[in-house]
Amino acid sequence: MRIGERPAIEQHTDQPETMRTTRRCIPCRPPLGRPEPSADDIALTRRLVSAGTLMGIEVIDHVIVGEAGRYVSLKERGVL
């Protein structure tokens, strides 16, 4: 098959609606319960944004959820 003959990623009608969205918010629960993003969290966010761009999926936020309802939005922090 030549490139361009069909989409590299096809949407299947039997997938749940949530699997066919073009926008995603990535949740994360840190192992120690502290919602402060690490350098690895920030690097992963940037990689997910790049991968999403290739697949036509917009990463709208990466939220790190800690204990007692505390959270950090990487969008609010300016990472996205």
Domain-embedded: residue 47: yes
Residue 9: pLDDT over 70: no
> Higher model confidence: residue 12 or residue 38?
38
Range of the domain at 56: 32-80
Rounded CA separation 43/28 (Å): 14
Rounded CA separation 60/34 (Å): 22
The counts of H helices and E strands in the chain are 1, 3
Helix (H) or strand (E) holding 48: helix 39-55
Domain-embedded: residue 6: no
Domain-embedded: residue 16: no
Rounded CA separation 26/5 (Å): 32
Quick: pLDDT tens for 52-80.
Answer: 888 888 999 999 998 888 999 999 999 88
**pLDDT, position 79:** 86
Q: How many domains does the chain have?
A: 1
- Lowest-confidence range among 8-12, 13-17, 36-40, 71-75? 8-12
* CATH number of residue 48's parent domain: 3.40.140.10
